[in-house]
């Protein structure tokens, strides 16, 4: 790719292409021919699109233009899914995990519980799922998750569930001409916590984002037991407003 036909980059989706270009730029800098590679990108008319404020606005606007609230969507799809699948959606809403992370975590809880090994994953003193203990699944180069606060009650509901499959859930909803909106639950989680007194840095921690800030890297040390109490209190208030 570095010396070949760079037009192959145009066959990739915009988000994948951006990641590939950034990786190639880093490699070219390491190998010492960044200027030449930059010149070739310009020659082929290939640009690295950066996230901007307008893109962020469009995401917010489109989220508000879906036709119904995400909580209304949850109520709508409940009769179409089985008990385990509905418990997964509840877990997504209360954890803020990405779709793939939530499904891996959900199924792992069931697996470990069946083996009598759940305490390896769940810290009962802090009510924390310790994703960081499984770096292959949860700690990656760009998208990570480290911990999730979860109540004993929701944990038991998951333990009593059967493993779930995203494709099976999606097909059930497609047959009813209903869009799968599971990823929006993560957005709702972050927005809800922010509006109920949880700091942005604390939400970032829960959603696996660690900004490149000197303060965050070296000085910020939240007390997890105190953070747990505030998070679970906010989520309890959310639970009282919905019916899942």
Is residue 153 domain-resident? yes
* Full residue range of the structural domain in which residue 20 is found: 6-43
pLDDT tens digits, 141-176: 778 999 999 999 999 999 999 999 999 999 999 999
Banded pLDDT at 67 (limits 50, 70, 90):
very low
- Residue 50 counted as domain residue: no
Residue 48: inside a domain = no
Whether 51 is covered by a domain: the verdict is no
Q: State pLDDT tens for residues 216-238.
A: 777 788 999 999 999 999 999 98
Q: Which residue has the higher pLDDT, 241 or 144?
A: 144
pLDDT (tens digit per residue) in 72-92: 999 999 999 999 999 999 999
State the pLDDT at residue 61: 59
Residues 141, 174, single domain; the answer is: yes
- The verdict on residue 244 lying in a domain is no
Domain count along the chain: 2
pTM: 0.75
Q: Is 194 buried (19+), middle (13-18) or exposed (0-12) by CB count in 10 A?
A: middle
What's the whole-number average pLDDT of the chain?
A: 86
Indicate whether 215 belongs to any domain.
yes
Residues 205 and 233 in one domain: yes
> What is the reported pLDDT for 163?
98
122 and 26 assigned to the same domain: no
Based on the fold, state whether residues 112 and 32 are members of the same structural domain.
no
């Amino acid at each position: 790719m570095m010396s070949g036909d760079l037009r192959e980059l145009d066959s990739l989706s915009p988000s994948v292409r951006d990641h590939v270009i950034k990786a190639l730029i880093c490699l070219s800098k390491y190998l010492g021919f960044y200027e030449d590679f930059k010149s070739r990108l310009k020659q082929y008319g290939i640009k690295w699109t950066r996230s901007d404020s307008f893109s962020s606005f469009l995401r917010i606007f489109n989220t508000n233009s879906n036709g119904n609230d995400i909580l209304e969507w949850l109520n709508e799809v409940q009769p179409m899914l089985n008990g385990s699948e509905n418990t997964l959606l509840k877990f997504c809403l209360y954890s803020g995990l990405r779709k793939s992370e939530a499904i891996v975590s959900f199924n792992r809880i069931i697996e470990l519980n069946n083996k009598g090994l759940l305490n390896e994953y769940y810290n009962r003193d802090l009510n924390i799922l310790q994703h960081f203990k499984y770096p292959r699944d949860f700690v990656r180069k760009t998208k990570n998750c480290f911990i999730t606060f979860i109540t004993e009650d929701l944990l038991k509901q998951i333990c009593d569930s059967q493993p779930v499959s995203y494709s099976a859930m999606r097909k059930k909803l497609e047959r009813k001409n209903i869009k799968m909106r599971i990823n929006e639950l993560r957005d709702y989680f972050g927005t809800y916590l922010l509006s109920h007194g949880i700091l942005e840095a604390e939400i970032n921690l829960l959603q696996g984002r660690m900004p490149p800030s000197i303060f965050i890297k070296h000085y910020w040390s939240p007390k997890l037991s105190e953070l747990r109490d505030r998070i679970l209190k906010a989520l309890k208030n959310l639970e009282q407003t919905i019916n899942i």
